[in-house]
Amino acid sequence: AQSSRRLEALHFGVADYAASCRARTVSIGGLNPDYPGDQWHAALSRMIVACRAYGLRAIDGPFGDFKDPDGFRAGARRGAALGIEGKWAIHPSQIALANEVFTPPDAEVDRARRILAALDEAAKEGRGAAQLEGRMIDAASARMAQNVVQTAEAIGNRVPAGRA
């Protein structure tokens, strides 16, 4: 992760990783029916931690079965839940799927903005935490919400708050 200052992202090469580990699979991406869960989870998690430590973007590797959109979506969602920011598309049919998964839904962006607004209001009153919809929110909530808003605005399909 620190090999070059020009490095901007790390990409998880699932087939290369599987071959290096001598994993018993011949599929590129997807789940192995002989493994209980996602066999790439631990490696992706470690890569994400390294990326965050060095300010890099974490990108998931390919999903080889381009005729299985549900499998692609499921793998992309698992990666997104961990902090992956994007996924290789090895076929044109996978581009829209990746955009669908990695673009925050409107409801998530709206909730993130409500979190930020509630915490701004709490800060004006000298409080470091607040509640929203019956749940406690604090500085960590603000950082998570800011990530969602920044992603949505970077994608460019949302009107930034205050510009409507």
Q: Which domain holds residue 118?
A: 106-155
Q: Are residues 66 and 141 in the same domain?
A: no
Q: Are residues 137 and 71 in the same domain?
A: no
What's the pLDDT tens digit per position in 81-130?
999 999 999 999 999 999 999 999 999 999 999 999 999 999 999 999 99
- Structurally, the chain folds into a number of domains equal to 2
Q: Rounded to two decimals, what is the model's pTM?
A: 0.84
Q: Are residues 24 and 91 in the same domain?
A: yes
| Cα 63 to the center of its chain, rounded Å | 16
Q: Are residues 47 and 93 in the same domain?
A: yes
Long-range contacts of 89-94 (CB under 8 A, 24+ apart): 89/62, 90/62, 90/63, 90/64, 90/66, 91/66, 93/66, 93/69, 94/63, 94/66, 94/69
Specify the amino acid at residue 126.
G
pLDDT bracket for residue 157 (50, 70, 90)? low
Q: Are residues 19 and 71 in the same domain?
A: yes
Q: Is residue 160 part of a domain?
A: no
Q: Are residues 14 and 56 in the same domain?
A: yes
Domain termination site, one of 102, 117, 144: 102
In the numeric block, which tokens belong to residue 118? 């509630």
pLDDT bracket for residue 28 (50, 70, 90)? confident
Q: Are residues 64 and 117 in the same domain?
A: no
| No. of helices (H) and no. of strands (E), the chain | 6, 5
Domain termination site, one of 102, 122, 146: 102
CATH number at residue 15: 3.20.20.60
What's the pLDDT tens digit per position in 38-93?
989 999 999 999 999 999 999 999 999 999 999 999 999 999 999 999 999 999 99
Specify the amino acid at residue 102.
F
Rounded CA separation 157/102 (Å) = 12
Beta bridge partners of 58: 10
Q: 37: how many CB neighbours lie within 10 A of its CB?
A: 10
